[in-house]
Structure 1
Amino acid sequence: MNLLLLLAAAYLLGSVPFAILVSRLFGLADPRQYGSGNPGATNVLRSGSKAAALLTLVGDCLKGAAAVWAAQALGFSAEEAALAGLAAFFGHVFSLFLRFNGGKGVATALGVLLGIDPWLAFICLFVWLATAVLTRYSSAAALAAAVSAPLAGYVLLGAPALVAILLLMAAVLVWRHAANIRRLLAGTEGRIGGKSG
């Protein structure tokens, strides 16, 4: 399979907006219309439905992991498989089905890490959970996990190309959280589990 075709397929997979599909399935409002307006699991949680949020989280995570696993199964190199994961991540963040305005990519990035190396995903998930428990801010947890990913990748994997992919993903995650950073600094950021007004 041609690498460009693989990346295009991974991007389309990543573009599937699970937050919106799951919300419709559960009869909930479009997550873009409340809370942070982000079509992701944390914002779906603000609807009050933990089941919908969990299903969204799993779906978004699996998009990233499936892209990497499929590339590996097709015989692509570790670097090419990671690029497929990156394409799925970009699909989520810049979804073709949402006029290139998707979610922030945290769960999909975790899935990509899981596909690349389960230990890498475990370390970043631990960082996310520890930060979330301590602060109750999903955005702060996401930022901490994003920063930890390339550092952990350098220690575990060492491959410059893979670390570069992780750095790019981390940079996009931080950029996508720019508004959250401003709200964190202002003390107005919503906490995990808080319902929208």
Structure 2
Amino acid sequence: MTPGPNVVVGDDGLARPAWAAADPLLRDYYDTEWGMPVTDEHGVYERISLEGFQAGLSWATILRKRPAFRAAFSDFVPDKVAAFGDADVERLMADAGIVRNRKKIEAAIGNARATVALREEMGLAKLVWSFRPEDTPRPVRFDEIPTKSAESIALSKELRRRGFAFVGPTTMYALMEAIGIVDTHLLGSHRRGSSGIWAV
């Protein structure tokens, strides 16, 4: 397939969207992680947390801080984060390695507690994946990629109903892209269809 207008062919001969073509960190994330299926509680909770911290910021900023986030949040193990108290909030607010936003920090802790509570029913990962749509976008250009969908709106409402915060429809669509629920790789990208969830 001929690369589209928003795809850049790298020196390795592989086509990627412009956002993943230059920065080595973003390029590696795109090539190895973004859009691949994440179906376990721990993985989904971590990504919900990071997507929440990303709100209003660039993903590159969050990705660069991810090691510090993991250290600060006990590797995003839900049971450990759910046990955080006021002293932990203050510790996190003093940690220059992460995004020091009190509401986002408190949301990550509250979301851990909500994640633990969900185990009595279907569990976080199964709940999130239950909002997988019947089809996925097939964008040629970057401006054809949605920023939210009926499913991300419904997922946002359901998570909020269950006590989650910083899970708006746009944030949840970004989550769905990141963990493979939808495939928004450009049709000219070497990663299109690589999740095994969707046909090219």
Normalising by structure 1, we get a TM-score of: 0.33
Higher helix share: 1
Determine which structure has greater relative contact order: mean sequence separation of CA pairs < 8 Å that are 6+ residues apart, divided by chain length. Answer: 2
Normalising by structure 2, we get a TM-score of: 0.33
